[in-house]
Amino acid sequence: MGEPGELVRARLRWQDGTVLVDTFTVLRGEDGRGLLIGSLDWQMESQPPQPPSQPAVLELRNAAEALLASQPVRVLSADDPEVMQVTLYFVLGEQLQPVQRNIPRTAAVGTAALEELLWGPPPLNLAGFETAIPMPEDVLNYHARGSDWGPRVTLRELTIVDGVATADFSQELQAYGGGSLRVMLIRQQIEQTLRQFSTVQEVRIAIEGETEAVLEP
């Protein structure tokens, strides 16, 4: 998707003419080719547009406005009955703060909440929220990454049995790089995001199925 280091413009155009545009820097993927991973969001202090649910088209173009990719999508409005809200926990300073996020309605709400958490806070959010969980740039630049690693942390499985939630993440979570504060924040982000659900009383974190010796400083 473009060349590493190249700027790519993402344009989301609703059927009613509403347009959201942002620019991203192409990362260097595992194979050396360009890779674009990002999140689109409004970046304004005033109330952003709130178009009703409708079809839209997502386009990616380079600096010369050449079309790199195009994908039809359906964007749901915040008040759509097929939308629900979850609470995610992000880092502000050295503390966690709750952030509300709208997601498509699902019965697997715990899984959906964790998957949203892995995408990180909104880009250039005005409050300055960050995440301790490794993002794609961390994973791709990690000095000890394996040859079989992907470009980002993913959730392999979430199981909840007798109040104990086991969140099993992909090996890319190891790209946190150490440090007791970062380990604590990663654990807290995952645990507090899951503890919002009444079915969860305890949280265990696994990497590739293993719960022993994970997320050590």
| Segment 90-122, tens digit of pLDDT | 999 889 999 999 999 999 999 999 999 999 998
Give yes or no for residue 205 having a pLDDT over 90.
yes
- What is the distance between the alpha carbons of residues 38 and 15, in angstroms, rounded to a whole number? 22
Least confident of 31-35, 73-77, 78-82, 202-206: 31-35
> Quick one: average pLDDT of 142-153?
95
Q: Looking at the DSSP assignment, which residues form a beta bridge with residue 11?
A: 21, 59
**What's the Rg (C-alpha) of the chain?**
18
Q: What is the pLDDT of residue 160?
A: 97
Q: How many other CB atoms are there within 10 angstroms of residue 100's CB atom?
A: 8
Give yes or no for residue 188 having a pLDDT over 90.
yes
Q: What is the pLDDT of residue 114?
A: 98
Q: What is the pLDDT of residue 1?
A: 63
Q: What is the pLDDT of residue 31?
A: 86
Mean pLDDT across the chain: 94
Q: What is the pLDDT of residue 30?
A: 85
> Long-range pairs for 65-72 at CB < 8 Å and ≥24 separation?
65/9, 68/1, 68/2, 68/8, 69/1
Q: What is the pLDDT of residue 80?
A: 97
| Segment 7-16, tens digit of pLDDT | 999 999 999 9
What is the domain partition of the chain in residue ranges? 7-75, 83-207
> Quick one: average pLDDT of 184-189?
97
